[in-house]
């Protein structure tokens, strides 16, 4: 049982290339960087389309949202819900989502049951009524929020009353670039020997480029070798509304000011590799934005992190980044100040280089690799906090309510998972997954279930047919030359090459012993009896304690009917001694257990000793089994007195921390079976209550307060993760629930019969 990585699948929602906008570039860079830093995590994208027909997206785009269609956001929520996503990372900017102030996004976020991490690209100091309403609900729906500046964090707390503990500040990511002299790149653009000023990004009137063009005549008068590069396509929304009139206006202004020869327009959206070359060629980067309400600027971050000298107006992000001699700030709408500061830096190489070094040093914290690691830490916090919140809600709402009654036994999913060969191993939600084939383990469990059900119900032809299939599968799995069972069979009915599993052999023996000891079908008894003795003999040479325990339980079942079988009795005694010897060599007062770690299917070890001690009249084995089971019960009890099985994502090593997730249904089933047997052998009501506590884990009395049993299908979901259940309803989990339910029903019936029997 291998542990899973903490974060396996991440979905990113926001604009995405080839759409031309800063959010699209950011989403792509973040997704790519996280995928590169954490290759075990699968990353995919759900972009928003602002044009009919969308864009020609790359393969990582899995689902598209139509910006103005509210139904499209709800469909996206449905898609994310079936995609088994661990974390949803949302890029938020009011203008990229439909509805008043981008409110359509909230419909998606309300409908997903996933930890949400929202990156806020805009945080307004003076929002409109709709903007404030949307932001407040966005903060409520998000598990964590990411901002890129102190000012944004300040506004969230003061304007929107966001809790400080929910906010992570992670800088805008930048590509890794070397700290080189600008002359290295200038020949690529034909500006050798020139002093290069640069502004880049999508062109729109709020960028203030007019002010820089008005400052340029004074700069050129003193430094005629200056060239000003304006790099970037016109914003697509502006093109759709007014064509290229804004760019033409800028070109005319340059001509009017007599600096046309000193201005170069590159009318395109360049890819990262070429953008780095443009930035490399710049001596000074200019951001002459028109007002302070810009909480983050990706273009500023890129050039700052590349170690460029920056002259900027004092919008919020620039104030923060360029403080402490990392750049130069000038007043808004002041071409004279722009000219003065640019000329000052062009004349003062020492100061310009000092600004560059200061910026480059801080920029190393902003490279995408570091930013991706910071985001993953936030993703993990969001996942853990979401799980913690769910647990608290569950404990408040349901922990005080004693679950009563047992569900109806429903075999629809079991039959759905069974064909003429046997029981399929896995399912995709509630649909059998043919590609993973069959295994002896599951068919053995299914055979045990059918025998137990036969004791509860009247004859059922459909159940008999299924039981016959499972018995035939075990007979076919047995290799008489090795006296061992093969385990895995493909859908093509061919056995897969494998090392033969000792635990599989033990479980098959449990099933065969149950057929001999309990079944009323002579055919099952005969088939099982013929194989059982052959398969049991090698078990004393096995090394797996669980194989010993499973075979012991099978031997106990076999001896229910054939108690005179001396060979089986001797092997039972030998296996009992093996388990008790293992315990005596390993256990200590603070660790009364069989091994140095508590791993999987744990309760089967004390269960076997309890049965063996009772059946063979060995008080020492019974006492030891009860002692170990009591300790395991305490270890697997959560704060709220509900079952918390040892998680398969790390297990529980001696002197180490226990793993709480991923919790497996087979652990709950093993506890139900062991505790019911302890109750029968000791008549201690404590054990019946512990069995019920373990069973209620399936119904929602667990860390997340979410049922694993699905009454609509009759199946059981495959496990409890830190923040959700695994929606797939495989054979092992479904049988774990059905066996537990059947055993609980039998125990209830036994109690009822005892209470209703007349006094002697």
| Residues 83-99: tens digit of each pLDDT | 889 999 999 999 999 99
| CB-based burial, 678-717: b 16+ in 10 Å, e otherwise | bbebeeeeebbebbbbbbbbbbbbbbbbebbbbeebbbbb
Mean pLDDT score, 114-131: 95
Categorize the per-residue pLDDT at 401 as very low, low, confident or very high, splitting at 50, 70 and 90: very low
Final residue of a structural domain among 169, 198, 219:
169
pLDDT score at 3? 35
Q: How far apart are the first and last CA of the chain?
A: 51
Final residue of a structural domain among 139, 169, 199:
169
Phi and psi at 725, nearest 5°, equal: -95, 150
Q: Mean pLDDT lowest for which of 141-150, 204-213, 494-503? A: 494-503
Residue partners of 403: CB distance under 8 A and separation at least 6: 696, 699, 700, 701
Q: Looking at the predicted structure, is the pLDDT value of residue 467 above 50?
A: yes
Is the pTM higher than 0.85? The answer reads: no
Do 143 and 190 belong to one domain? no
Residue partners of 200: CB distance under 8 A and separation at least 6: 229, 230, 231, 232, 275, 278, 279, 299
603: enclosing H helix or E strand: none
On whether the CB atoms of residues 747 and 691 are closer than 8 A, the answer is yes
Whole-number Å distance between alpha carbons of 671 and 736:
11
Do 202 and 114 belong to one domain? no
Q: What angle do CA 58, 59, 60 make, to 5 degrees?
A: 95
On whether the CB atoms of residues 519 and 525 are closer than 8 A, the answer is yes
Whole-number Å distance between alpha carbons of 179 and 562:
84
Torsion region of 161: left, alpha or beta (phi above 0 gives left; psi -120 to 50 gives alpha): left
Do 138 and 214 belong to one domain? no
Whole-number Å distance between alpha carbons of 8 and 12:
13
Do 96 and 224 belong to one domain? no
Do 146 and 79 belong to one domain? yes
Whole-number Å distance between alpha carbons of 234 and 244:
7
Residue 397 maps to a domain: no
Residue of 128, 144, 142 whose CA lies nearest to 94? 128
Categorize the per-residue pLDDT at 425 as very low, low, confident or very high, splitting at 50, 70 and 90: very high
Mean pLDDT score, 456-469: 88
pLDDT score at 240? 83
C-beta atoms surrounding 542 within 10 Å: 18
Tokens found for residue 138: 């966005």
Residue 376 maps to a domain: no
Do 545 and 465 belong to one domain? yes
Three-class secondary structure of residue 496 per DSSP: coil
Do 147 and 192 belong to one domain? no
Q: Looking at the predicted structure, is the pLDDT value of residue 389 above 70?
A: no
Residue 618 maps to a domain: yes
Residue 378 maps to a domain: no
pLDDT more than 90, % of the chain: 78
Write the CA distances from 668 to 514, 522, 713, 724, integer angstroms. 21, 32, 20, 17
pLDDT score at 715? 96
Whole-number Å distance between alpha carbons of 323 and 731:
61
Does 685 sit behind a cis peptide bond, omega within 30 degrees of 0 on the bond before it? no
Q: What is the mean pLDDT of the chain?
A: 91
pLDDT score at 236? 82
Do 235 and 88 belong to one domain? no
pLDDT score at 393? 47
- pLDDT tens-digit series, residues 162-220: 999 999 999 999 998 888 888 999 999 999 999 999 999 888 888 899 999 999 999 99
Whole-number Å distance between alpha carbons of 719 and 426:
13
pLDDT score at 686? 92
Whole-number Å distance between alpha carbons of 341 and 207:
18
Categorize the per-residue pLDDT at 1 as very low, low, confident or very high, splitting at 50, 70 and 90: very low
Do 440 and 531 belong to one domain? yes
Final residue of a structural domain among 116, 135, 169:
169
Q: What angle do CA 715, 716, 718 make, to 5 degrees?
A: 130
Three-class secondary structure of residue 557 per DSSP: helix
On whether the CB atoms of residues 228 and 191 are closer than 8 A, the answer is no
Sign of CA dihedral 591, 597, 603, 609: negative
Q: Looking at the predicted structure, is the pLDDT value of residue 395 above 70?
A: no
CATH code (residue 253):
3.40.50.2000
Do 237 and 317 belong to one domain? yes
Whole-number Å distance between alpha carbons of 311 and 300:
10
10 Å CB burial of residue 206 (0-12, 13-18, 19+) is exposed
Q: Looking at the predicted structure, is the pLDDT value of residue 602 above 80?
A: yes
pLDDT score at 740? 97
pLDDT score at 755? 55
Q: What angle do CA 28, 384, 712 make, to 5 degrees?
A: 95
pLDDT score at 500? 83
122: enclosing H helix or E strand: none
On whether the CB atoms of residues 121 and 296 are closer than 8 A, the answer is yes
**What percentage of the chain's residues is helix, strand, coil (to nearest 5)?**
55, 15, 35
Q: Looking at the predicted structure, is the pLDDT value of residue 374 above 70?
A: yes
Whole-number Å distance between alpha carbons of 546 and 568:
18
Q: How many CA atoms lie within 13 A of 149 on its CB side?
A: 24
Mean pLDDT score, 426-442: 96
Tokens found for residue 52: 């009919």
Do 347 and 296 belong to one domain? yes
- pLDDT tens-digit series, residues 344-358: 999 999 999 999 999
Q: How many CA atoms lie within 13 A of 367 on its CB side?
A: 12
* Tally of domains in the chain: 3
Whole-number Å distance between alpha carbons of 576 and 611:
10
> What is the four-CA torsion angle of 516, 521, 522, 526, rounded to 10 degrees?
-40
pLDDT score at 280? 92
Whole-number Å distance between alpha carbons of 328 and 197:
14
488: enclosing H helix or E strand: strand 488-489
Residue 396 maps to a domain: no
pLDDT score at 749? 83
Whole-number Å distance between alpha carbons of 538 and 480:
12
CATH code (residue 573):
1.50.10.10
- Find the domain containing 122 and state its range: 9-169
Residue 245 maps to a domain: yes
Q: Looking at the predicted structure, is the pLDDT value of residue 399 above 50?
A: no
Whole-number Å distance between alpha carbons of 700 and 710:
11
- pLDDT tens-digit series, residues 231-249: 988 888 788 888 889 999 9
Write the CA distances from 289 to 123, 155, 211, 323, 333, integer angstroms. 17, 20, 9, 17, 8
> What is the four-CA torsion angle of 153, 157, 158, 160, rounded to 10 degrees?
110
Residue 391 maps to a domain: no
Residue partners of 711: CB distance under 8 A and separation at least 6: 407, 410
- pLDDT tens-digit series, residues 701-735: 998 888 999 999 999 999 998 888 899 999 999 99
Question: DSSP state, 663?
Answer: B
Does 119 sit behind a cis peptide bond, omega within 30 degrees of 0 on the bond before it? no
Q: Looking at the predicted structure, is the pLDDT value of residue 697 above 50?
A: yes
Torsion region of 320: left, alpha or beta (phi above 0 gives left; psi -120 to 50 gives alpha): alpha
pLDDT score at 149? 93
Tokens found for residue 716: 């059981």
C-beta atoms surrounding 136 within 10 Å: 15
Whole-number Å distance between alpha carbons of 67 and 578:
67
10 Å CB burial of residue 742 (0-12, 13-18, 19+) is buried
Do 134 and 199 belong to one domain? no
- pLDDT tens-digit series, residues 286-314: 999 998 988 888 899 999 999 999 999 99
pLDDT score at 758? 53
Residue 307 maps to a domain: yes
């Amino acid at each position: 049982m291998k542990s899973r990585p903490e974060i396996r699948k991440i979905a990113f929602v926001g604009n995405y290339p080839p759409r031309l906008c800063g959010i699209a570039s950011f989403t792509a860079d973040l997704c790519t960087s996280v995928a590169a830093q954490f290759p075990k995590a699968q990353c995919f994208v759900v972009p928003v389309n602002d044009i009919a027909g969308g864009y020609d997206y790359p393969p990582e785009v899995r689902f598209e949202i139509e910006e103005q269609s509210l139904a499209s956001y709800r469909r996206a929520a449905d898609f994310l819900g079936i995609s088994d996503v661990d974390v949803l990372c949302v890029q938020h900017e009011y203008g990229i989502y439909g509805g008043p102030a981008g409110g359509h996004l909230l419909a998606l976020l309300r409908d997903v049951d996933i930890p949400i991490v929202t990156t806020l690209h805009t945080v307004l100091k003076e929002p409109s009524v709709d903007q404030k309403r949307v932001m407040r609900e966005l903060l409520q729906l998000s598990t964590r929020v990411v901002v890129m500046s102190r000012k944004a964090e300040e506004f969230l707390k003061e304007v929107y009353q966001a809790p400080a503990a929910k906010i992570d500040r992670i800088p805008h990511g930048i590509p890794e670039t070397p700290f080189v002299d600008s002359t290295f790149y200038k020949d690529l653009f034909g500006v050798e020997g020139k002093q290069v000023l640069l502004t880049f990004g999508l062109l729109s009137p709020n960028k203030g480029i007019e002010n820089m063009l008005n400052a340029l005549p004074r700069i050129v008068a003193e430094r005629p070798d200056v060239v000003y590069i304006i790099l970037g396509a016109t914003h697509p929304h502006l093109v759709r509304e007014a064509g290229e009139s804004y760019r033409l206006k800028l070109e005319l202004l340059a001509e009017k000011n007599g600096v046309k020869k000193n201005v170069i327009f590159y009318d395109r959206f360049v890819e990262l590799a070429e953008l780095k070359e443009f930035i490399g060629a710049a001596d000074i980067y200019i951001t002459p934005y028109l007002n302070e309400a810009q909480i983050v600027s990706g273009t500023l971050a890129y050039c700052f992190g590349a170690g460029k000298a920056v002259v900027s107006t004092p919008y919020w992000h620039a104030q923060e980044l360029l403080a402490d001699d990392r750049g130069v700030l000038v007043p808004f709408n002041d071409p004279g100040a722009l000219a003065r500061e640019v000329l000052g830096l062009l004349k003062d190489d020492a100061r310009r280089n000092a600004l560059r070094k200061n910026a480059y040093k801080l920029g190393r914290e902003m490279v995408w690799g570091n930013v991706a690691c910071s985001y993953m830490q936030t993703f993990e916090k969001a996942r853990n906090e979401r799980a913690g919140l769910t647990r608290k809600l569950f404990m408040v709402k349901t922990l005080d309510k004693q679950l009563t009654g047992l569900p109806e036994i429903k075999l629809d999913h079991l039959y759905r998972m069974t064909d003429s060969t046997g029981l399929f191993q896995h399912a995709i939600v509630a649909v059998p997954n043919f590609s993973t084939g069959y295994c002896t383990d599951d068919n053995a469990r299914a055979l045990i279930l059918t025998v137990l059900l036969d004791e509860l119900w009247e004859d059922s032809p459909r159940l008999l047919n299924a039981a016959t299939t499972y018995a035939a599968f075990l007979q076919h799995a047995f290799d008489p030359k090795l006296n061992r069972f093969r385990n895995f069979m493909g859908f093509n009915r061919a056995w897969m090459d494998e090392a033969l599993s000792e635990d599989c052999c033990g479980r098959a023996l449990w099933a065969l012993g149950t057929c001999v000891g309990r079944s009323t079908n002579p055919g099952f008894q005969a088939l099982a009896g013929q194989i059982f003795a052959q398969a049991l003999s090698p078990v004393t040479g096995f090394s797996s304690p669980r194989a010993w325990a499973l075979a012991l339980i099978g031997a106990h079942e076999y001896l229910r009917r054939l108690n005179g079988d001396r060979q089986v009795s001797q092997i039972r005694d030998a296996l009992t001694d093996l388990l008790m010897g293992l315990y005596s060599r390993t256990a200590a007062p603070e660790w009364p257990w069989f091994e140095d770690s508590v791993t999987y299917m744990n309760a089967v070890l004390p269960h076997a000793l309890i049965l063996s001690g009772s059946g063979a009249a060995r008080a020492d084995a019974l006492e030891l089994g009860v002692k170990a089971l009591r300790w395991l019960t305490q270890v697997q009890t959560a704060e709220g007195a509900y079952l918390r099985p040892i998680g398969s994502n790390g297990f529980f090593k001696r002197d180490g921390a226990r793993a709480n997730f991923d919790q497996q249904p087979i652990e709950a089933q093993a506890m139900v079976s062991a505790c019911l047997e302890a109750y029968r052998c000791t008549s201690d009501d404590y054990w019946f209550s512990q069995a019920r506590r373990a069973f209620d884990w399936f119904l929602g009395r667990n860390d997340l307060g979410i049922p694993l049993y699905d009454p609509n299908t009759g199946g059981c979901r495959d496990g409890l993760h830190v923040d959700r259940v695994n929606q797939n309803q495989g054979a092992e989990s479904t049988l774990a629930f059905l066996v537990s339910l059947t055993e609980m029903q039998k125990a209830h019936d036994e109690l009822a019969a005892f209470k209703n029997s007349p006094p002697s």
